[in-house]
Amino acid sequence: MTVVVIGAGLSGLSAARTLQRSGQQVLVLEQASEIGGRVQTLDIDGYRVDKGFQVLLTAYQEAAEVWPEHEMDLFPFAAGAVIHGQEVKQLFDPLRHPSKVWQSLGSKLFTMRDIKSLLSLRLGLQGIRGLPEDASAEQAPEFLARLGFSERFTNAFFRPFLGGVFLDESLSVPADAVRFVLAMFARGEAALPAQGMSALPAHLSQGLSIRCNCTVADVEPRKVIVDGGEVIDAQAIIDTRPPASTAWQSTQMMAFASPVPQDTTPVLHLANLHEQPDAPILHACAPSLVAPDYAPQGKAVLYATLRTGRPSAPVEEVRQTLSNWFDLPKDHIEHLTTVEVRQALPESPCRASQDARDQGLYRSGDWTTHASIEGALRSGRIAAEAVIQDLEAKSDPETA
Ligand SMILES: Cc1cc2nc3c(=O)[nH]c(=O)nc-3n(C[C@H](O)[C@H](O)[C@H](O)COP(=O)(O)OP(=O)(O)OC[C@H]3O[C@@H](n4cnc5c(N)ncnc54)[C@H](O)[C@@H]3O)c2cc1C
């Protein structure tokens, strides 16, 4: 009999891959017409538009195993940011871009205390390789204040940057999640696959048996009932669907076609929310400066992630901001689409492992570990390992 996995997002695919590698028969059921769940890429006239700006952090441990660098065409962002306020300022990681140290220090973004806090934060991140086993109760704002960061620096850098990562510029996230994400940025690179983020689930799904357009209506012990009434018998069931009560962060991103900007540094651009508290966007980038296949030759694609927790800015205002930030004539920036993801990041505990067994089922999904690519992959693998362990125990006459 088959193990059934519900959902062909990264978690379900990671579970299915683990099961298949251990010799189990596995079938993945996916309600959508495409695999990938929350990792999708549109092709609009040759411009690649990820459904919400996201990046793969190469320091993720599970991800490095699933997508070995030699098999993936990954393109990294520069380790830094250009920050747009009354003036344009730059902040680059001194260890990776030593030639930019003076530009960063001369940018007057921070006080001497902020520099000390940055150094102690950077040192504190050294030992973090993955998600914590147990999350502490501290929240991000208290954590940043405890480290001694000024409000000016927090609003100029952390709020637009981490607000974009967590899709919540109030930074109401556990300090552990911030430490984990910053450690991953510090240890490795933020990268895009040549073909867009959907290349990640596409690679992971190779060789797996997946039925798309197949909505699971109900689950009973060892039975999955799909819309239309078909019943699929299962040896075990891994369900990656989050509970209906899950709280979600949403996001809106606008994508534009444009000429190639003069400055081709593949870097993230942030709104200095200290100097421009009403900026229409949190951040922007030109992914085609990172991975050239994101736009037709001689063109660029620009992404702008809108502010969170406030009404969306009109396209015209965003276009004007991109024109200023990328030094491009506004008339040459053409709106391609606006992507809205209402259920983007679930409230999640930020922990390395979950108890997958739940009333005869196995649960996985980023909502059980951490709302990230790493959390999703990890939760899927852990649930699959629990299934394998239980099936082996059943077939072993000593333990059965
Ligand atoms: C805009 C955005 C930006 C992000 N940025 C980053 C980032 O930069 N870095 C990072 O690490 N992570 C990022 N993430 C998070 C990351 O993409 C997710 O954590 C991860 O993709 C979740 O995978 P999952 O398999 O747990 O869930 P999902 O991808 O949601 O998969 C669940 C699947 O189950 C299917 N399903 C649901 N109900 C049924 C049913 N009844 N029958 C059959 N199938 C069903 C769904 O269609 C879906 O395909 C971002 C996410 C978004 C949306």
Give residue 135's pLDDT: 74
Residue 117 lies in a domain: yes
Write the residue with the smallest CA distance to atom 12 of ligand 1: 372
All residues at 6 or more sequence positions from 182 whose CB lies less than 8 Å from its CB, including other chains: 121, 125
So what's the pLDDT on residue 397?
67
Instruction: Report pLDDT for 80.
Output: 92
Statement to judge: residues 152 and 224 lie in one domain: no
Contact between residue 299 and residue 336 where contact means Cβ atoms under 8 Å apart: no
**56 and 122 both lie in a single domain:** yes
Whether residue 119 sits in one domain with residue 241: no
Q: In the predicted model, what is the mean pLDDT of the chain?
A: 94
Give dist(CA 287, CA 291) in Å, integer.
6
Distance 39 CA to ligand 1 centre (A): 6
Is 266 a domain residue?
yes
Instruction: For the chain, count helices (H), then strands (E).
Output: 12, 21
Task: Give, using CA atoms, the residue closest to atom 4 of ligand 1.
Answer: 54
Helix, strand, coil shares of the chain, percent, nearest 5, are: 35, 25, 40
Examine the pLDDT at 168 and tell me if it is beyond 70: yes
Q: What is the structure's pLDDT at 111?
A: 86
In a domain, 275, yes or no: yes
Total domains present in the chain: 2
The protein residue with its alpha carbon nearest to ligand 1, atom 35, reads: 7
Q: How many CA atoms lie within 13 A of 289 on its CB side?
A: 21
Same-domain pairing of 288 and 213:
no
Percentage above 70 pLDDT, the chain = 98
Is there a single domain that holds both residue 99 and residue 120? yes
Domain of 356 in residue numbering reads as 3-39+198-245+348-395
Query: Do residues 270 and 154 share a domain?
Result: yes
Average pLDDT value for residue range 193-218: 98
CATH of the domain at 381: 3.50.50.60
Tokens linked to 85: 């306020």
Q: Mean pLDDT, to the nearest integer, of 184-202?
A: 97
The whole-number pLDDT of residue 322 equals 98
Confidence of residue 399 (pLDDT cuts 50, 70, 90): low
Q: Is 42 in a helix, a strand, or coil?
A: strand
Q: Is residue 7 located within the same domain as residue 23?
A: yes
Taking only the tens place, the pLDDT of each residue in 131-158 is 998 778 899 999 999 999 999 999 999 9
pLDDT at 258: 98
The values of phi and psi at residue 56, to 5°, are -95, 125
The token pair at 149 is: 């960061």
d(Cα 101, Cα 95) in Å, to the nearest integer? 9
Asked if the structure places residue 235 within a domain, the reply is yes
CA 366–ligand 1 middle distance (angstroms): 7
Q: Is the pLDDT of residue 400 over 60?
A: no
Is the CB of 115 within 6 Å of ligand 1?
Answer: no
Residue 164's pLDDT band, with cuts at 50, 70 and 90, is very high
In the three-class reduction of DSSP (H, G, I as helix; E, B as strand; rest coil), residue 84 is classed as strand
Between 53 and 122, residue with greater pLDDT: 53
pLDDT in tens, 244-279: 999 999 999 999 999 999 999 999 999 999 999 999
**3-state SS track over 369-380:** CCCCHHHHHHHH
Total length of the chain: 400
Distance 120 CA to ligand 1 centre (A): 34
Q: Does 121 share its domain with 214?
A: no
Same-domain pairing of 90 and 124: yes
Q: Could you report the per-residue pLDDT of 301-335, keeping only the tens digit for each? A: 999 999 999 999 999 999 999 999 999 999 999 99
Is there an atom of ligand 1 within 6 Å of 213 CB? no
Q: With bands split at pLDDT 50, 70 and 90, how would you rate the model's confidence at 368? A: very high
Query: Which residue among 324, 345, 366 closes a domain?
Result: 345
Q: How confident is the model at residue 364 (pLDDT cuts 50, 70, 90)?
A: very high
Residue 264 burial class via C-beta count within 10 angstroms: exposed 0-12, middle 13-18, buried 19 and up: exposed
Q: Contact 130/61 with Cβ under 8 angstroms?
A: yes
Residues 361 and 235 in one domain: yes
Confidence band of 236 (pLDDT split at 50, 70, 90): very high
398 vs 74, which has greater pLDDT?
74
Residue to probe by mutation, ligand 1, list 54, 162, 350, most atoms within 8 Å of CB: 54
What number is the average pLDDT over the span 204-218?
A: 98
Q: Are 160 and 278 in contact (CB under 8 A)?
A: no
Radius of gyration of the chain (CA): 22
Domain of residue 112, CATH code: 3.90.660.50
Distance between CA atoms of residues 28 and 40, nearest Å: 18
Amino acid at 12: G
Distance of alpha carbon 337 from alpha carbon 315, whole angstroms: 10
What is the number of other CB atoms lying within 10 angstroms of the CB of residue 230?
A: 10
Same domain membership, residue 385 and residue 292? no
Question: In the predicted model, what is the mean pLDDT of residues 40-64?
Answer: 97
How far is it, in rounded angstroms, from Cα 33 to Cα 397? 42
Residue 253 belongs to some domain of the structure: yes
Roughly what angle, to the nearest 10 degrees, separates helices 112-125 and 175-187? 80
One domain, residues 136 and 113: yes
Q: Average of pLDDT values for 16-33? A: 98
The pLDDT score that the predictor gives to residue 140 is 95
Identify whether 44 is part of a domain.
no
Quick check: is 400 in a domain? no
Band of residue 95 on the pLDDT scale cut at 50, 70, 90? confident
Residue 238 CA to residue 300 CA, distance in Å, equals: 41
Position 54 in a domain: yes
Q: Report yes or no: 57 and 46 within 8 Å, Cβ to Cβ.
A: no
pLDDT at 102 over 80: no
